Amino acid sequence: MYDYLVVGSGLFGAVFTNEAAKRGKKCLVIEKRGHIGGNVFTEPIEGINVHRYGAHIFHTDNLAIWNYINRFATFNHYINYPLASYNGDIYNLPFNMNTFYKLWGTVTPSDAVAAIEKQRLNIEDPQNLEEQALKLVGRDIYEKLIRGYTEKHWGRDCKDLPPFIIKRLPVRFTYNNNYFSDRYQGIPIGGYTAIIKKMLEGSDVQLETDYFKRNWDGIAKKTVFTGMIDEYFGYRYGRLEYRTLRFETEILDMPNFQGNAVVNYTSRDVPWTRIIEHKHFEFGEQPNTVISKEYPGEFGTNEEPAEPCYPINDEKNGKIAQKYLDLAGQEPNVIFGGRLGEFKYYDMWQIIRNALDAAKMEF
């Protein structure tokens, strides 16, 4: 018998497994896909570590988490400077003085503030994402840099999305293109898969193994479940909604395609949300380059193989999710974790923190 059956080899499952193994616990990790790492899986192509499930840029203000993840890899000094492409024009993200200069020709912070104030709508209690955006930044930024990208990302009209999604929309009145304000950020040299591999050393791992395709009774004292919480409970209260991502990855016979790791396409008529050029994450100088076009979709509606990538945390899903979370609280021998297991949109550092907290409660 194992001490823990860990369902899923993503960050939550791998961190918990590592903590358990350090304490002499025996773990069996099962993974539905043919590789470890879940959605942080990176694969070498043309000597470039390709982020197979989208750009994963590690960032945190938590020194303990930063020190923890650095036990498993050396991180470079990559800083996220994404760009936005709208109808052939390029804008800096997040919204800062460079963005405002491109939009309106404003040079000073006071001029930029005045330009935004002139466009902002005085909406006391925004009822949807569109109203929230118009209250925060006005019409120009909303139409060019928010609306199309957001509707593609979530698959819903901005008027049908809750306002809290952009409640803390970053607006900076400095010439600072650093997307994250966190003190610690970077990309692991060699990719994320190497981190997961180190975390799982000493534990048994079975790939291409679907938890729901067999009976696991008696194999472990406890289960750590990082899959979809509604699937675990047999969709008792209905299906929760998740978004998925599809990637078209190409090897290009050129050293540099777009000059930046991430370029968002914010026009609604461009089908992809962004293009990722993976070599720039690790400052690669390979003769070829690899790009991935990212297409969001509704999980469960596409016949092609797809993975749930992030939950749709609107009011309707929130009510259903709470019912499942209440059921989870009644399972003393099951630990639920991760974006899918808790139905919450987490950053990587938060998942690591949660897994470490779960381990502390266990040990």
Which residues are annotated as catalytic?
Answer: 168, 172, 243, 274, 294, 345, 347
Q: Report which secondary-structure segment, H or E, holds 316.
A: helix 315-328
Q: Cα–Cα distance between 115 and 153 in angstroms, integer?
A: 28
Nearest CA to 52 out of 241, 351, 309, 264 is that of: 309
What is the rounded radius of gyration, in angstroms, for the C-alpha atoms of the chain? 22
Q: C-alpha distances in angstroms, 334 versus 8, 10, 208, 220, 325?
A: 13, 17, 22, 11, 12
Beta-bridged to residue 83, according to DSSP, are: 92, 263
Helix axes 147-154, 129-136, angle to 10 degrees: 150
β-strand partners of 58: 186
Biggest alpha carbon–alpha carbon distance for the chain = 68
How many residues would you count in the chain? 363
Q: How many CB atoms lie within 10 A of CB 103?
A: 18
Going by C-alpha positions, the residue among 70, 40, 43, 77 that lies closest to residue 55 is: 40
For every residue of 151-213, DSSP letters joined together read HHHHTS-GGGS-GGGGTT--B-SSS---S---SEEE-BTT-HHHHHHHHTTTSEEESS--GGG
User: Using an 8 Å Cβ cutoff, are 80 and 179 in contact?
Assistant: yes
- Burial of residue 55, with CB atoms counted within 10 A of its CB: 0-12 exposed, 13-18 middle, 19 or more buried: middle
In whole angstroms, what is the distance from residue 13 CA to residue 196 CA?
A: 9
Residues 6+ apart with CB under 8 A from 241: 298, 299, 311, 312, 317
